[in-house]
Structure 1
Amino acid sequence: MKRLKITNDHGFIIRKLQKEERKIKEALLHQRVTAVRLIMEGYLGEEIVSMLNIHRQSMLTYVSLFNDGGFEKLLDKKVPQESTTWKTPFLTAEQQMKLKQMIVTSTPFDERFGMAASWDTRIVRAYLQEHYVISMTRMGVYKMLRRIGLSYTRPTYILAKGNEQQ
């Protein structure tokens, strides 16, 4: 890791950062200020990463935030980071609602999609591949279903002609 530098200290000296660091109660924000202060003190990035037990990319992000916008930007949690941009969903909101409605109201057999009596991620994944030409992992399908308000439970079967006492 190359030596990190604070290119713009925004009027902060090491002692002033230490005072601000003591005031911060939230651990993540405290860690950010500590990382920047240690860089200003001359520590190497590798040393700071091992001392604070953080990822090196986090260290680079903290220094970049401080260099760009100073103390306020370093403490701002709403700052989008380039590496954490959200991917666009595979299905539009309308398609997701249609999928949810279909799963809730029908079975794979009703949709002429196999002999299964209940939906699972494997079947939903194959359905998406066939109808929307979308390839998703089973975990991706699981997470999408959770986002739209569905969760997996084992199907319960009720016998139509059963003795209630047994």
Structure 2
Amino acid sequence: MERLKITDDHGFTARKLRKEERKIKDASLRQRVTAVRLIMEGYLGKEVAEMLNLHRQSVSTYVQLFNEGGLEKLLDKKTPPGKSPYLTEEQQKKLKHMILHSTPFEQGLGMATSWDTRIIPSYLQNQYGISMTRVGVNKMLHCLGLSYTRPTLYLGERRRTEATGICARDGDDKKN
């Protein structure tokens, strides 16, 4: 097995890397810099992995990243993209507008006067052919800036969103 080597130090010494380590708040990113610094100081990859409780392949990857692009590439932490949403942005805007400005009864979804996580999945199934759980709908509503509140019966004229079960959080309804 070959010894790990820093082929391009990008102007960094072990001392400069130690100073950079102290500036980094994120523990996992700091650990990356520490691994490279220890290799620079002459430790074996296996020893560094044991000291930092890492897999030896991770240490090798960190050294490779540092050799390719220096500290910038080493600290570039790409996050996975995650699952794409069921609805497009346009469909989400349309759904939000519909929830805030109409009732299920007005949309022909029975006698209900307020939206809830039982009615919305059936609407999504009928309108877009999308099957979502109630928990998924709740998360989607949260992402849209909406939250579920218990419907309240008001006598007289009140804002429609106060009478419905779902309302905008923190003034989000003013944006749309």
Q: How high is the TM-score relative to the length of structure 2?
A: 0.61
Instruction: Render the CA deviation track for 1:102-153: whole Å, top value 9, x for unaligned.
Output: 1112222322223433212232122212210112333332222222221111
State the identity %: 54
Q: Distance in 1 between matches of 2:61 and 2:153?
A: 55
Distance change (3 Å), C-alpha of 1:86 and 1:159:
same
Question: Partner of 1:163 in structure 2?
Answer: none
Distance change (3 Å), C-alpha of 1:30 and 1:88:
same
Q: Distance in 1 between matches of 2:118 and 2:7?
A: 53
Question: Partner of 1:73 in structure 2?
Answer: 73
Question: Partner of 2:171 in structure 1?
Answer: none
Note the C-alpha offset of 1:99: 0.7
Question: Partner of 1:110 in structure 2?
Answer: 106
Contact 1:108 1:118 in 2 (8 A): yes
Distance change (3 Å), C-alpha of 1:73 and 1:114:
same
Question: Partner of 2:17 in structure 1?
Answer: 17
CA RMSD of aligned residues (A): 3.4
Contact 2:36 2:59 in 1 (8 A): no
Instruction: Render the CA deviation track for 1:38-90: whole Å, top value 9, x for unaligned.
Output: 5663336476347xxxxx7xx579726435422121234xx534xx1243322
Q: Distance in 1 between matches of 2:145 and 2:33?
A: 39
Q: Distance in 2 between matches of 1:74 and 1:137?
A: 40
Which runs of no fewer than 5 residues in structure 2 stay unpaired?
157-176
Distance change (3 Å), C-alpha of 1:16 and 1:88:
same
Distance change (3 Å), C-alpha of 1:90 and 1:38:
farther
